[in-house]
Amino acid sequence: MKISVGRTSDPARVQSEKFASDLEQLKKESTDHIRRSFDSIVTIKDFLSENEGISQSDRYAKLVSKLESVEKKLSRFEDSLNDRVARLIREYEKLKSDVDTLGREKKLFKALYDLSSLILAEQSDDIVYDAIARAAADILSCDHALLQIVVDGKIAGQHAASSGNGVSKFAPSKQVTNAVLSTGDPVMIESVMGSSIGCILCVPLKTDDEVTGLLHAMRYKGPFSKFEMEQLKTLSERIWQSLKASAPIPPCENHNGIDLQDLKSRFDFSEIVTNSPEMAKVLSIVADVAQTESAVLIEGESGTGKELLARALHVNSNRKSAPIVAINCAAIPETLLESELFGYEKGAFTGAVGRKPGKFEMADGGTVFLDEIGDLPQFLQVKLLRFLQSHEFEPLGSTAVKKADVRIISATKKNLAGMVEAGEFRDDLYYRINVIAIKLPPLIGRGGEIEVLAEHFLKKYAQKNQKNVASIDRAAMAYLKNYGYPGNVRELENIIERAVVLCKGDRLTIGDLPESVVRRGVEKSDAPVNVREFNELKRKLWRETIGPIEMEFALGLLERGNQNISEAARLGGLHRKQLQRILKRHKLNAEIKSDRKKS
């Protein structure tokens, strides 16, 4: 944990150098003026001795003229000297103030350093809290300082300090405390009536815009300056943020009341790899409607697994012993799509040398999966509607009516409701296929599923390509989790397949990932708009990115340091306590202890 105290310039040193330079210049100019004045007096004496032959009146007039000239020079010099001395006095006062400010800033930065050392050394909160109160009393040279801990808007504890060695008996004003708690802004009150208190200052300590502490300072004599208030705010903000940030962010659990393992034990979802609450909701709907005869419309982006969900509906239905036949309405030319759906007889068109059954006939007793139904031409929409109403159809080139007992499951990535409003899709057909609607969330919206899918695809393609790739390191996994996946699950599968093929070792690393994943994983930003979203984002970043990278970093140091914590910390440029803290955060203590015993 680092606490940034900034790098300050040294205005006092610069000002003192300028002050010394101005004094030297004033001394030089004063010496020159005095020398020139003496030169003028000598000139007058010479004039008097050299002009004895001229009349007395002329000598007097010339003497007066020269004396007046000397007087003007001396007058100008006096005015200049007074101005320069006055300016130097002002500069001296400013320099004195800057030196005093520099001393206070030095005291503040030393306090920040000392407090940060306590945090890094994993001292208890009470020890750090007492030190914060003492630092406030020392920095402001106040009589008493008090740190109050706030939990759920109430005072849960306090730590006091005084300028002397005695115990502080300062009791903060309830009015001041309530004002700061309600507004979240600092409050200063001077000359408290009915008491000997000269001034009270209170600043809030915040965690995620919530007041979680109050820092009070009190003087018997004299007010606090604006500069002192800023110093107290700086102390409180930097140390409090560092202290709160040093604690690990707890994971955010998501409960939706659906037991995914129970669903998997009662239904066949073997083709669907997931552990996310979002997909648990989807599978719960599948479980509810699988054994019905209702038409189902699956909506979702490309690559989200719509066909897998359709197969899950089929294998968990009463039709599972019959086939499921899939057809992609966007992949077949419009002129051929009708014959694919309904079949044709011999001689129905040029090249029809024999009879061919359509998808509906082939799926009799089972399920027909119409993928990308939003691309179905208008004239076929009419024929499909007629089939859904009667389950009857006529193959191309035939006058005989055939029947097929099939269940229709449709899927689309388009907004069918919008297409209905635009007149691009028949509303009566839309209502027929949309009896049960299931929305598949994109991969990025399925919390925690990326890691499970990545490991599943790793095993699949390692076995397929006969590669000895057994795992994905945590840094690479962090990038995978932070990527946007415009192509959803299909894109993740392609990324893992490529990485497995190119991998040179026994585990995937960042170097095996496509540049686009690494670049976009870093650049991706979901800016929160409120405190709740900000907290969720922090937890997500810790769980999916920062935590795994930190753990990988610590494990790497331990490996380089032969499981010796002190040596590992030295190699990583860390304090031993820092590394112990990281290990504790990732529950690695027991493992490391056993390693040390073995060694």
pLDDT tens digits, one per residue of 402-416: 899 999 999 999 999
Strands 144-151 and 154-162: antiparallel
CATH of domain 448-598: 1.10.8.60
Give the residue ranges of DSSP H helices in 391-469: 416-421, 427-433, 449-464
For domain 260-441, give the CATH number: 3.40.50.300
| pLDDT at residue number 35 | 67
Those residues whose C-beta lies under 8 Å from the C-beta of residue 24, and which sit 6 or more positions away, are none
Average pLDDT of span 536-564? 80
Write down the pLDDT at residue 27: 67
Residues 6 or more apart whose CB falls under 8 angstroms from that of 50 comprise none
CA distance readout (Å), 460 to 269, 410, 455, 483: 17, 28, 9, 21
Q: Would you call 319 helix, strand, or coil by DSSP?
A: coil
Is the pLDDT assigned to residue 474 strictly greater than 90? Answer: no
pLDDT of residue 127 exceeding 60, the answer is yes
Helix (H) or strand (E) holding 22: helix 11-50
The reply to whether domains 11-116 and 448-598 share a CATH topology is: no
pLDDT band (50, 70, 90) for residue 7 = very low
Q: Which residue has the higher pLDDT, 179 or 44?
A: 179
Q: Which residue has the higher pLDDT, 220 or 315?
A: 315
**Structural domain boundaries in the chain:** 11-116, 123-245, 260-441, 448-598
Q: Is the pTM of this model over 0.85?
A: no
Q: Is the pLDDT of residue 8 over 50?
A: no
pLDDT of 9 over the 50 cut: no
Average pLDDT over residues 75-102: 71
Highest CATH level, class, for 123-245: alpha beta
> Would the pLDDT of 591 be above 60?
no
What is the pLDDT at residue 54?
Answer: 60
d(CA 146, CA 133) in angstroms, rounded, equals: 6
Q: What is the pLDDT of residue 207?
A: 75
Say what the pLDDT of residue 34 is. 67
Helices 449-464, 488-502: inter-axial angle, 10-degree rounding:
50
Class of domain 11-116: mainly alpha
Residue with tokens 């815009």: 209
* pLDDT-based confidence at residue 137 (cuts at 50, 70, 90): confident
Contact 6, 105 (CB under 8 A): no
DSSP 396: B
DSSP 219-247: ESSSPPPHHHHHHHHHHHHHHHHHHHHTS
Mean pLDDT of the chain: 78
E strand or H helix at 139, and its extent? helix 125-140
Tokens of 104: 């206070």
- Rounded Cα distance, 319 and 366, in Å: 5
Look at residue 89 and give its three-state secondary structure.
helix
| 297 pLDDT above the threshold of 90 | yes
54 alpha carbon, distance to own chain's centre: 97
Q: What proportion of the chain, given as a percentage, has pLDDT over 70?
A: 74
pLDDT exceeds 70 at position 2: no
Candidate from 124-138, 277-291, 389-403 with smallest mean pLDDT: 124-138
